[in-house]
Chain A
Amino acid sequence: MDNLFIEGFIAFFTVSSFVYLNLGLLLGLVFGSIPGLTVMLCLVLFMPFTYTMDAIASFMFLLGIYCSGSYGGSISAILIKTPGTPHAAATMLDGYPLARSGKPKKALLTALYASGFGGIFSALVLLFAAPLVAKIALNFGPPEYFILCVFGLLIISGVSSGNLLKGIIAGCLGLLLSTVGMDSISGVFRFTFDDFNLYGGLNLVIVLIGLFAISETISNASKYSKTVKYASIKTDDNKDDVLPLKEFFSSYLTLLRSSVIGTVIGCIPGTGASMASFLSYDTARRNSKNKAAFGKGSEEGIAAAESANNAVTGATLIPLLTLGIPGDAAVAILLGTLMINGLTPGPNLFQEHGVEVYAVMIGLIVINIFMLIQGRLLMPFFAKITKVDFSLLTPLIVIFCFAGTFSINNTMYDIFVAIIFGVVAYVLIKLDFSPIPILLGLVLGNLTEMNLRRTVTMAQGDWFFVLSRPASLALIAIFVSLLVWFAYSRLRQRSLASKTEEQIA
């Protein structure tokens, strides 16, 4: 191991690695931050360039895109209330209010540092504990996925801002939308109304663009008056708009907890960064001493969401490098790159190509460090977006959304889908429904339903089947104890509150 570690470090430490990883980081940042452009598009577009590079350089390049793309989504979420990636929707919940209160730089820096923290944390887990974590991840079968999804859906109660019933209704809408298209188990079409464009279901990114970007432009257009700047962020330079490291690390517990959540979710294939960031956001909110600040510009909220979704980046490489299992669509492209370079992923990869694997794992840590540097350098430019006039930004966002939506499937149909979701979201927001539960339902719907159905088939009518699986039992135990803990802390807070009221009286 020591030998491989050193050899891997030497193999990584070349000029080309550094050049390509920085190039990748820059590209990822651009693609992640512009609504409509996705990390996937960036990866497939630049993948052919790696054919002429060696394995390590090409992996550094693509990993750079992957990592900074994951952070990049938060920039537009914070500045223009339009998440560039689905998981940045959790960052938006607090990032946008904080930016709006005149502290866009503080919000951006919190997101950047938290992303770097989460990324480095998971890269270290990958380096030191990959085989062990992979073993745990492999124990995740349909019943465990289902339990995890149910817990994920409980987050809806935390993000339904005020009215729980409305949150559940919006969540149901999202779940129902996830059933549109071909049922991946039985192969029948559902709710397609004989329109072949719907056979494949609704694309998450397209719905996201509609729900958040288009609806936001409509709402801005309705509010426009000559004196308002975009999204009404105060543009005068605010002296408080800084983030001392000490202040950032004061929420170290949240950072650590979120990174662990991100790493755990990330190493389970098929779950994804959105689940991680929302789960971590919700956990942070429940555990916070300053619960009331959540949703109104809490730095802790931003840090929780961002550290979790970037912790996913390193963790998804665990099943990829140890078992050859791609955790999400972006990682599937990384898998292809490995194969093209003759490094066939699978259980033999560590034995046959140990040096390259160690080089990649060490490289991932360096990538995250450079992501912090690049993000810090580019931050002043991003913060300037808040000074661009509203009347310029609104049409530009629509144009980008159009081009980006079109790029996903090369069809005009998707653009109309995005517009419809934009209008629907605009109306629902007027009626005090939040689009966040819709997004959550859409993200988790398929995973929940399919794994429930698989579990039922596997159980064969034996209801103790789920309890006979150690992994399921462990998960249920964790979640039940968490729920009890939340209930207990809420009760205690209530009694404390009533006591203070009595004292005041």
Chain B
Amino acid sequence: MKQCIKKITTFISLGLFAFSVQAKADDWPQKPITTVVPWAVGGLADQVNRAMAQFGADEFGQPIIPTNRLGAGGVVALTEYLRERPNTTKIIYGSEGNFSISPKTNKVAYKWEDFTPIMNIYTSSFVLVATPDSGIKSFEDLKNYGAEKKVLFGVNGLNGTEFLIISALLSEMGIDYEAVGFNGANEAMNATIAGDVVLAVTHASLAKEYVKANKLEALVVFDEKPLKTDVYDLPPVTEYGYDTWIVNRMMMLTRKGTDPTLVNSIRAHFLNILNNPEFIAIADNLGVNIDPVDGDALNEHVMTTIDKVERFWEMAKK
């Protein structure tokens, strides 16, 4: 008897579930959409998310409520997100590091396969900067400097993307190094400006004003294509024969199992927001490179990054 009841309830709930999927694809969202930024309040991703949320009511007929869930560089928020059901109105952001580097240092409960990527919001490349006191002005100068001295560099934590790409690069170049871990890319950059460390890896947008004011020397960009803007004219590391690069993406994710038509519809709505002239003006001022590639591209991005992290990890160990 008990089993029978159990079977019936499972059946009914399955039926209800199927029905709700059907209904949701048509008139999602039934309640306000919550977007979760797992990084600092006031940071670049948070700013972009809050700017996008402005247009939520016009686009979805429901407001977008921007929230932050901090902790361990995104691990807390992504773990908590596992509680969400498919077709949830909660949307989360993640970066490739959350799925490639975080699992290497600690046990994490989630994996990339638990999420369905909706789209990418922005892409950012890391640049290598040096303090002007060191006299390092180019990649060649760095080689010469490193041949004689141990290089002290500052990065955002000793388990982040920044640490991995620079230590892999320096190892490949045969340069002896020591890393100083800071709390955030900002702190690491400040230490370089003050001359406490010689090198730092930071976001191109973050370092821009300092490079312009000659407080920092930009040497190279961690990418496969050169970085050419009004301030930068940097060769990629690949030009020197190194493949130690990872680009950073702000990926919009939902829970695995969400209806594909719904994913497409959410993406279409957010694309409209990204193309809104008011939003474009804000994004320009923030200096972000809006790059709305789709979920397939993100799948590939994360997979190649996981491979790279595996390789760079071994290189950095030396």
Residues of A within 8 A of B (CB): 40, 44, 47-48, 51, 138-142, 181-182, 184-189, 194, 196-197, 199-201, 269-270, 323-326, 329, 332-333, 335-336, 339-342, 344-349, 409-411, 446, 450, 453-454, 457-458, 460
Q: Mark B161-182, 1 if CB is under 8 A from A, else 0.
A: 0000000000000000011111
Q: Mark B193-216, 1 if CB is under 8 A from A, else 0.
A: 110110000000000111011010
CB of B179 to closest CB in A, whole Å:
7
CA distance A229 to B109 in the complex (A): 50
**Known interface pairs A196-B76, A348-B212, A460-B178; A335-B197 also in contact (CB < 8 Å):** no
B41 touches A329 (CB 8 A): yes
B106 touches A189 (CB 8 A): yes
CB of B195 to closest CB in A, whole Å:
9
Enumerate the 10 nearest inter-chain pairs by beta-carbon distance, A residue then B residue, closest first.
A200-B71, A346-B209, A187-B159, A332-B42, A185-B181, A347-B213, A199-B72, A141-B196, A333-B42, A182-B72
CA distance A324 to B209 in the complex (A): 9
CA distance A347 to B209 in the complex (A): 7
A199 touches B71 (CB 8 A): yes
User: Is B30 part of the contact surface with A, judged by Cβ < 8 Å?
Assistant: no
State which of B116-124, B218-226, B281-289, B293-301 sits at the interface with chain A.
Answer: B281-289
CB of A106 to closest CB in B, whole Å:
37
Partner of B50, one of A44, A348, A454, A458: A44
User: Is B157 part of the contact surface with A, judged by Cβ < 8 Å?
Assistant: yes
Chain A, Cβ-Cβ closest to B285 = A342
CB of B31 to closest CB in A, whole Å:
15
- Known: A187-B106, A458-B196; 14 extra A-B contacts, CB below 8 A, are A48-B54, A184-B183, A187-B158, A188-B105, A196-B109, A197-B76, A197-B80, A323-B193, A336-B46, A339-B285, A340-B51, A410-B67, A457-B178, A460-B150
**Known interface pairs A196-B79, A329-B40, A340-B285; A410-B69 also in contact (CB < 8 Å):** yes
B70 touches A200 (CB 8 A): yes
B50 touches A339 (CB 8 A): no
CA distance A236 to B68 in the complex (A): 46
Could you jot down 13 A-B contacts, CB within 8 Å?
A47-B50, A48-B53, A182-B72, A185-B181, A186-B159, A197-B76, A197-B80, A269-B190, A336-B46, A344-B208, A346-B209, A347-B210, A347-B213
A457 touches B160 (CB 8 A): no
B41 touches A458 (CB 8 A): no
CA distance A139 to B181 in the complex (A): 18
Residues of B within 8 A of A194 (CB): 107
Residues of A within 8 A of B287 (CB): 339, 344
User: Is B243 part of the contact surface with A, judged by Cβ < 8 Å?
Assistant: no
Chain B, Cβ-Cβ closest to A407 = B67
Chain B, Cβ-Cβ closest to A331 = B42
User: Is B73 part of the contact surface with A, judged by Cβ < 8 Å?
Assistant: yes
Residues of B within 8 A of A (CB): 40-43, 46-47, 50-51, 53-54, 67-73, 75-76, 79-80, 105-107, 109, 150, 152, 157-160, 178-183, 186-187, 190-191, 193-194, 196-197, 208-210, 212-213, 215, 282, 285-287
B179 touches A457 (CB 8 A): yes
A51 touches B209 (CB 8 A): no
CA distance A324 to B178 in the complex (A): 27
A186 touches B181 (CB 8 A): yes
CA distance A35 to B53 in the complex (A): 28
CB of B183 to closest CB in A, whole Å:
5
CA distance A347 to B216 in the complex (A): 11
B69 touches A185 (CB 8 A): no
Residues of A within 8 A of B160 (CB): 187
CB of B48 to closest CB in A, whole Å:
10
A335 touches B183 (CB 8 A): no
Residues of B within 8 A of A142 (CB): 180, 191, 196
CA distance A344 to B208 in the complex (A): 10
Residues of A within 8 A of B193 (CB): 138, 323
Residues of A within 8 A of B158 (CB): 185-187
CA distance A460 to B158 in the complex (A): 17
Residues of B within 8 A of A450 (CB): 181, 183
CB of A203 to closest CB in B, whole Å:
8
Partner of B180, one of A333, A341, A410, A457: A457
CA distance A201 to B180 in the complex (A): 21
Residues of A within 8 A of B43 (CB): 332
Chain A, Cβ-Cβ closest to B184 = A184
Residues of B within 8 A of A329 (CB): 40-42
Residues of A within 8 A of B53 (CB): 48
Chain B, Cβ-Cβ closest to A457 = B180
CB of A357 to closest CB in B, whole Å:
14
CA distance A347 to B69 in the complex (A): 32
Residues of A within 8 A of B209 (CB): 324, 344-349
CB of B293 to closest CB in A, whole Å:
24
A333 touches B215 (CB 8 A): no
CA distance A76 to B105 in the complex (A): 43
Residues of B within 8 A of A51 (CB): 51, 54, 282
CB of A41 to closest CB in B, whole Å:
9
CA distance A184 to B46 in the complex (A): 20
CB of B94 to closest CB in A, whole Å:
15
CA distance A347 to B47 in the complex (A): 21
CA distance A340 to B286 in the complex (A): 6
Residues of A within 8 A of B152 (CB): 458
